[in-house]
Amino acid sequence: MPTIKAAVCHAFGAPLVIEDVILAPPRSGEVEVTLDAVAICHSDISYAEGAWGGFLPAVYGHEAAGVISAVGDGVRGFAQGESVVVTLIRSCGSCPRCAGGTPTLCETPYDAINGPLTTADGAPLMQAMACGAFAERVVVDQRQIVKIPAEIGKDVAALISCGVITGVGAAVNAAQLRAGQDVVVIGAGGVGLNAIQGARIAGARRIVAVDMSAEKLEIAKEFGATHGVLGNLDAPWKASYKALGGKGADVVLVTVGAIPAYEQATRYIGTGGRMVMIGMPHSGAKATYEPVIMAAIGQGMIGSKMGDVVIQRDIPWMVDLYQQGRLKLDELISGRWTLDEINAAIADTKTGSARRNVILFDR
């Protein structure tokens, strides 16, 4: 079994350690992908800080792209040498959720502890998020990957596998936006910018971006926001109402995991509107609402995991829009780093100024 380099988390909140780990060959239905790039998502950081628990040691990372280097028995439609994106969406294809068209909510459990990774001395090593992509190679289920054109840069392709599908998918799939509706996007980070793009692609009339940073609000306009509102204003939803012609939004997309953002989100919703919850607060964090108001004017709230995407259906059309110049990907990358620099890249991401930092593997 091959030895590869990986960034391993041994203690929550501690720096990741670059070390040799063992990667098992692909089993039936699995593929091995040699990675060119993996982006750093805030979910990776939250997991590594212990926000949602989990087994240690672990290898995080789930927003990746590379080339298939081996295939297991029973793999269909994929071959060595093909370029792919790797996602964390591991679906069985046959449970009620998968059969009903929502593979992001697959009900079949996956044993991430006894997966393809072990430490150099053979001890268990968690393949976090069914990926473990802070490593030179991954072994994943064939349902987790989608082929992409070889000419697309793997750094931008990696972004599609989480941040892009989560944001764009939330607007298109979860919110089911239609042309002419008004949208508020709370948070103008990586996922927020993609939610803005999704709203633009869906034909939203006006798109109000809300963020604490004036600089990020200007960037949001480059991605399709028609208005920007500083979230630290007194009653910022009033500015949003003004931007939308004196009414609330048809859809509010909350792309950050901050409880104050969730507490305020319902104030932006108009009559009959809905809030889509995308950002992931830490376990145990709670927000409060006044349900009588929501009931009286027909408002609703739903959760959206990974943009409710079906990756084999949605990633190809997003790739096509990128190739047409209608979906911005290159502009999402803030910095490019090596695996040895991953802790610095994480620290930079935590400042909140980065859109997406990408780790590039030199091979």
What is the CATH classification number for the domain harbouring 202?
Answer: 3.40.50.720
Share of the chain above pLDDT 70, in %: 99
Do residues 120 and 240 share a domain? no
Asked, for residue 169, whether it belongs to a domain, the answer is: no
Distances (CA, A) of 144 to 117, 151, 152, 155: 17, 21, 19, 18
Residues 194 and 295 in one domain: yes
Question: Does a structural domain hold residue 167?
Answer: no
Compute the distance between CA of residue 52 and CA of residue 36 in angstroms, rounded to an integer.
28
Q: How far is 326 from 340, CA to CA, in rounded Å?
A: 34
217 and 259: one domain? yes
| Domain extent for 136 | 3-162+308-360
Lookup result for tokens 């679906």? 91
**Cβ partners under 8 Å of residue 296, min gap 6:** none
Handedness of CA 74, 76, 79, 83 (dihedral sign): negative
Whether the full predicted model's pTM is greater than 0.75, yes or no, is yes
**Using DSSP, how many helices (H) and how many strands (E) does the chain show?**
11, 18
b/e map 89-123, b = 16+ CB within 10 Å = bbbbeeeebbeeebbbbbeeeeebeebbbbbeeee
Are 34 and 69 contacting, i.e. CB atoms less than 8 angstroms apart?
yes
Residue 169 has pLDDT above 90, yes or no: yes
124 lies in some domain: yes
**Tens-digit pLDDT profile for residues 19-38:** 999 999 999 999 999 999 99
| Residues 278-298, mean pLDDT to the nearest whole number | 93
How far is residue 251's CA from residue 265's CA, in Å, rounded to a whole number? 10
Supply the pLDDT for residue 330: 97
* Confidence (pLDDT) at 354: 81
pLDDT in tens, 201-258: 999 999 999 999 999 999 999 999 999 999 999 999 999 999 999 999 999 999 999 9
- Residue 145 counted as domain residue: yes
Q: What is the CATH number of the domain that holds 75?
A: 3.90.180.10
Residues 128 and 180 in one domain: no
Whether residue 180 sits in one domain with residue 141: no
**Residue range 159-177: average pLDDT?**
97
Q: How far apart are CA 145 and CA 258, in angstroms?
A: 30
Residue with tokens 């982006």: 39
- Tokens 């269909």 found at: 76
pLDDT digits (tens, 9 = 90+) for 60-74: 999 999 999 999 999
